Structure 1
Amino acid sequence: MNFWNKWDTKISQIEAALITILLTLMILTAFSQIVLRNFFASGIDWGDALVRYLVVWVAFIGAAIATREGKHITIDLLSRWLTGRGSIAVQALACFFSAVICGLLTLAAIKFIWFEAQMGGTAFFKLPVWVPELIMPVTFGLMTLRFVMGMIECGIRIAEGGKRIG
């Protein structure tokens, strides 16, 4: 677990930096487009496409951050009624199902990227359309890994009698 915690900390720092940079770039590009259109009757040709892809990147990175922080949508009615090991077992089960779903979404995203690469479309600046879409399998894969690690942590907590681990 210690190895995973070190890597997750590094990934968390990258996520924080990326989401800050991308959100700033998204706001500046959208603002520039508005100013250019309203005051100069022009705009940046690739600006709208860039903003659309930035929205997707920010959303997916935000989902990965929410997963890391345990702030994703949960249905925890049962775990609130249970205590100790029972509550932790329900959390482990939720992590298991979440990992399965995210794993399936990772596979679907990989297939989607492969299909997009076969189609040969471009996004902007002659950049293949599949390149900015790589965020999907990467973040779904990261979320899968985080749910698996959450499940393992729950198993360790159950084995230790329901205590929190450091």
Structure 2
Amino acid sequence: MDLLVKLHRLFLKAENLLLSGLLLSLILIAVTQVAMRNVFGGGLLWADAYTRISVLWLAMLGAMIGSRRQNHLAIDVIVRFLPARWKTIATRLSNGVTSLICFAAAWFSWDFLARESAYADIAFANIPNWWCEAIIPAAFFVIALRYGVAAILPQNQPV
């Protein structure tokens, strides 16, 4: 059990590090691209594709971190007015349904990724498109796992 906790903490740190590093690189590349276009009349050939892909990765990593902290958009108007016992049940049910939806999204995005790999298109710098899009099923899978665990475990468990 101690090993699982350490692995989980390592995964959370890796998530944070990847998000921070990606954001910094995106800012650096975008500023460099703008400066090069204004000063030299041209920029890096791969910068626009990198920027688009980085935004996708930032969005998916942000969703993963939001699911970790239960800081997500939710329509919980009815849940707020329920008694404590029913509130717990409704929250667990909501987390379970969210988990199932995210597992379905992971499944279908995995199928999308398999089809993308068959096309063998290049995103930039000889990196295949499907490598860049691999974050989609991975993120949905992680989010599905987190909501699945939240639906099963008591609410006061550390995530």
Q: Same fold (TM over 0.5)?
A: yes
Offset, 1:24: 0.3
1:72-101 per-residue CA deviation (whole Å, 9 max, x = no partner) reads: 111112221122221100001110110011
Q: Which AA in structure 2 matches 1:124?
A: F
Q: Which AA in structure 1 matches 2:82?
A: L
1:6-155 pair list within 5 angstroms: 6-154=6-154
Unaligned runs of 5+ in 1: 158-163
1:30-53 per-residue CA deviation (whole Å, 9 max, x = no partner) reads: 001100001111100001101111
Offset, 1:10: 2.2
Task: Give the TM-score normalised by the residue count of structure 1.
Answer: 0.89
Task: Give the whole-Å Cα distance in 2 for the aligned partners of 1:24 and 1:42.
Answer: 22
1:121-144 per-residue CA deviation (whole Å, 9 max, x = no partner) reads: 011111111001110011100000
Task: Give the whole-Å Cα distance in 1 for the aligned partners of 2:18 and 2:67.
Answer: 16
SS of equivalent residue, structure 2 residue 122: coil
Task: Give the whole-Å Cα distance in 2 for the aligned partners of 1:141 and 1:74.
Answer: 19
Task: Give the whole-Å Cα distance in 2 for the aligned partners of 1:11 and 1:139.
Answer: 13
Offset, 1:165: 4.5
Q: Which AA in structure 1 matches 2:98?
A: S
Task: Give the whole-Å Cα distance in 2 for the aligned partners of 1:133 and 1:67.
Answer: 20
Task: Give the whole-Å Cα distance in 1 for the aligned partners of 2:5 and 2:78.
Answer: 28
RMSD of aligned alpha carbons: 1.7
Task: Give the whole-Å Cα distance in 1 for the aligned partners of 2:3 and 2:78.
Answer: 32
User: Does the aligned pair in 2 maintain the 1:78–1:90 contact within 8 Å?
Assistant: no
Between the aligned residues of both structures, percent identity stands at 30
Would the alpha carbon gap of residues 35 and 165 (structure 1) be closer, same or farther in structure 2, given more than 3 Å must change?
closer
Would the alpha carbon gap of residues 78 and 61 (structure 1) be closer, same or farther in structure 2, given more than 3 Å must change?
same
Q: Which AA in structure 1 matches 2:106?
A: T
Unaligned runs of 5+ in 2: none
Task: Give the TM-score normalised by the residue count of structure 2.
Answer: 0.92
Q: Which AA in structure 2 matches 1:88?
A: T
SS of equivalent residue, structure 1 residue 130: helix
Offset, 1:153: 1.5
Offset, 1:62: 0.3
Q: State how many pairs are aligned.
A: 158
